Structure 1
Amino acid sequence: MSLNEVYITRTSHYFPNQPVGNEEMEEYLGYINGKPSKSRRIVLRNNGITNRYYALEKGGKVTHTNAQLTAEAIKELFKDDPEGFKSVDVLACGTSSPDQIMPSHAVMVHGWLPELGKLEVVSPSGVCCAGMHALKYAYMAVKTGDAQHAIATGSERFSASLVAHQFEDEVHKLEELEQNPYISFDKEFLRWMLSDGASAFLLSNKPNPEGLSLKVEWIEGLSYADDMEPCMYCGAEKLEDGTLKSYLEFTHEELGEKSIMSIKQDVKLLSPNIVPLGGRPLPELFERRGLNPDDITWYCPHMSSNFFRDKIYEEHLKLGHHIPYEKWFVNLSYVGNVGAASVYLMVDELLHSGKLKKGDKIFLLVPESSRFSYMYALLTVV
């Protein structure tokens, strides 16, 4: 069977509302126990984020669902070509923050887009790599000829799980027990890291007749879950032995008292592992794919925090892969950490920046701390 070449022919993004600066965050997310956070400034100083987006009004009222954000990004793909909706065969939507456990995220997105008509819909689950899994599914559908045109998306709406009232039951329980009425750093840490937004790619078996397209050379992934315990999790509690206790095993009261449905991250496990594990497969991958680091024109590494910037750079040096900072294209500081959408947002901004020329090679690296998974991809500008 002959395989098609696959091209990203359009990209788009959608952010809810206006950007939120560092000093405004608690006006949207609220004050836990009515008090300003003690950790906010420390986390912000390290993560280097100055603006992010929330699908909230001040005071915490929700303005958009995740599915709505994603649908708006998809509409942007076709704002100048409304008939283009009819040619799409596959919709693949990745997120780590779906609006509900079921129905799946992608079918909820489809529900906001009757213009698409009947088509195949896929919802990869996971965390930051979920967007790349959606991209790979769309890529393979076009590659094999099952689809001529496919949409892949990455999106997040973290803010709804970060608002203060999500933690009030836990704080009140701590007060009843006469303990320090502050939630753990593993829970509060992520309140100052995450952002809402969505981005979409249109994939085709032919490049644009005019203008630039991005040829997808390859996409690969790797999981370390066979020997790494969970690091980032939601809907569970981490036990002393490193295993997770499911939300299904807690009483209704315990779900609130322990903030079981909030996002948590084991920061002690994160820092020593997230960068080295991501670098470990690169020498073999580059050799097998015939990729020389010098051939990379633009490097788009997804980073949850600017704290990891120099660590990633130094890891490449250790591996003999020098990728100078002038080749990096990262927008973390002014869009925030948008999880599964982050790499999409980098590619989208880069494609519309005027910086690209035909022949440029764009290397993507997406880490996921949930149980340490990684996705890698190479795009060529054509």
Structure 2
Amino acid sequence: MFTEPVLPMSGPRYRSRMTAIGSYVPERILTNAELERMIDTSDEWIVQRTGIRERRIGEPDEFTSRLAIRAVQNMQERYGVALHDVDLLLVCTSTPDFSFPSTACLVQAHFGIEQTFALDLSAACAGFVYGLHVADGMIASGMHRKALVIGADALSKIADYTDRTTCILFGDGAAAVLLERTDDPRSEPAFFSYTAGSDGNGAAHLYRSNTAASLNGAPLRGDGKLVQNGREVYKFAVQTVPKGVAELLAQAGLTTADIDWFLPHSANLRIIESICDKTGIPLERTLHTIELYGNTSAATIGLAMDEAVRMGRFRDGDRLLLFGFGGGFVHGGLLMRWSDLREG
């Protein structure tokens, strides 16, 4: 359910605002035609069930940290932002380079950020929304001033290319945003409504096995690869997200007509269509990257946001509704007021 960030009992209520954005996808394109030669599938079958035509695949040595670094570099090139004073660095990912050190520490080292709170955040495909919420709350508390939030995943590294029901879905990519504190207490909050939840009973329907050999007494499959029960994930998404959207709107006193853009997690076009049908949000106001990038997990919402920025779709004051959902099961939504970014 909706929760306000916990703030100190005294002192100002700080606001955060997004000041820069960047993204990156690998150059290599994996088409449906190529998958036809690898597994028993067809372009028609994939498009009909998922809406996906292509996905981007990293090189063998292109892991999540490199995707994240490239996204931040893209942000720097476009906005000329300084990173030396970033004091909170979150990498939202399900595919870290290592169990430890964190991918956030690898990004911190690459950019030579001397003093920062560096942390990997694991919330699967809801990771980007979770990361924005955590960063906004940390800034609002007064504990941090400048946060770098990155959603990045290299799902091709854990995809099972013998399983035609899952390998057709996933690709690699990253998106990065910079949140900065504004000290003007009269400023409107960029993030003004939040909802989230989890249901660990869904763990068996979407996981990557690691050191554990069983879950609730049942043996795990996959040998380190991603395992998904697509039917159960679909059911979870189309039941949970519309309820979360309704809760967000009720908390803010808004209706779907007040939302300028909807950015759901790009898991599957059929899921998005069902969610739009149940919520009443028109598809023409829904942004996703599913057709050309596939499911890039924690990167999907940031990639869709940056694509809209590049196309000039957002206007100052637009209301954006972000909603992520995925393994856990976890879900999280944010209502965000857009402020125009100024490229350097």
TM-score interval w.r.t. the shorter chain? 0.7 to 0.9
| CA gap 1:334/1:36 in 2 versus in 1, 3 angstroms | closer
Counterpart-to-counterpart distance in 2, 1:217 and 1:18 = 38
Q: What is the CA distance between 1:50 and its match in structure 2?
A: 1.4
Q: Secondary structure at the match of 2:191?
A: strand
> Match of 1:280, as an amino acid?
K
Counterpart in the other structure of 1:223: 198
Instruction: Please list, as runs of the form range in 1=range in 2, the aligned pairs for 1:103-252 lying within 5 A after superposition.
Output: 103-114=101-112, 116-162=113-159, 187-206=163-182, 215-225=190-200, 227-235=201-209, 245=219
Rg comparison, structure with higher value: 1
Counterpart-to-counterpart distance in 1, 2:116 and 2:151 = 19
Contact kept? 1:362, 1:379, Cα under 8 Å: yes
- The runs of at least 4 consecutive aligned structure 1 residues that moved more than 4 Å come to 80-83, 236-239, 241-246
> Match of 1:38, as an amino acid?
D
Of 74, 77, 80, the residue aligned with 1:76 is: 74
Q: Secondary structure at the match of 2:196?
A: strand
Correspondence 1:85 to 2:83: yes
Correspondence 1:268 to 2:231: yes
> Match of 1:36, as an amino acid?
M
Contact kept? 2:20, 2:81, Cα under 8 Å: no
Counterpart in the other structure of 1:210: none
Question: What count of residue pairs does the alignment treat as equivalent?
Answer: 323
Counterpart in the other structure of 2:252: 289
Of 46, 50, 58, the residue aligned with 2:49 is: 46
Q: What is the CA distance between 1:113 and its match in structure 2?
A: 2.2
Q: What is the CA distance between 1:132 and its match in structure 2?
A: 2.2
> Match of 2:25, as an amino acid?
F
Counterpart-to-counterpart distance in 2, 1:139 and 1:288 = 18
Counterpart-to-counterpart distance in 1, 2:213 and 2:261 = 38
| CA gap 1:40/1:132 in 2 versus in 1, 3 angstroms | farther
**TM-score when normalising by structure 2:** 0.85
> Match of 2:262, as an amino acid?
Y
Contact kept? 1:234, 1:264, Cα under 8 Å: yes
RMSD: 2.6
Of 342, 347, 362, the residue aligned with 2:320 is: 362
| CA gap 1:371/1:230 in 2 versus in 1, 3 angstroms | farther
Structure 2 residues without counterparts, runs of 5 or longer? 1-10, 340-344
Counterpart-to-counterpart distance in 2, 1:4 and 1:224 = 32
Q: What is the CA distance between 1:121 and its match in structure 2?
A: 0.5
Instruction: Please list, as runs of the form range in 1=range in 2, the aligned pairs for 1:22-37 lying within 5 A after superposition.
Output: 22-25=32-35, 36-37=38-39
Q: What is the CA distance between 1:7 and its match in structure 2?
A: 0.7
Counterpart-to-counterpart distance in 2, 1:242 and 1:218 = 35
| CA gap 1:97/1:229 in 2 versus in 1, 3 angstroms | closer
| CA gap 1:18/1:267 in 2 versus in 1, 3 angstroms | closer
Contact kept? 1:8, 1:216, Cα under 8 Å: no
| CA gap 1:142/1:374 in 2 versus in 1, 3 angstroms | same
Cα offsets for 1:308-342 (capped at 9, x unmatched)? 133112221xxxxx212221122211222110010
Q: Secondary structure at the match of 1:312?
A: helix
> Match of 2:206, as an amino acid?
M
**TM-score when normalising by structure 1:** 0.77
Q: Secondary structure at the match of 1:337?
A: coil
| CA gap 1:223/1:243 in 2 versus in 1, 3 angstroms | farther
| CA gap 1:138/1:206 in 2 versus in 1, 3 angstroms | same
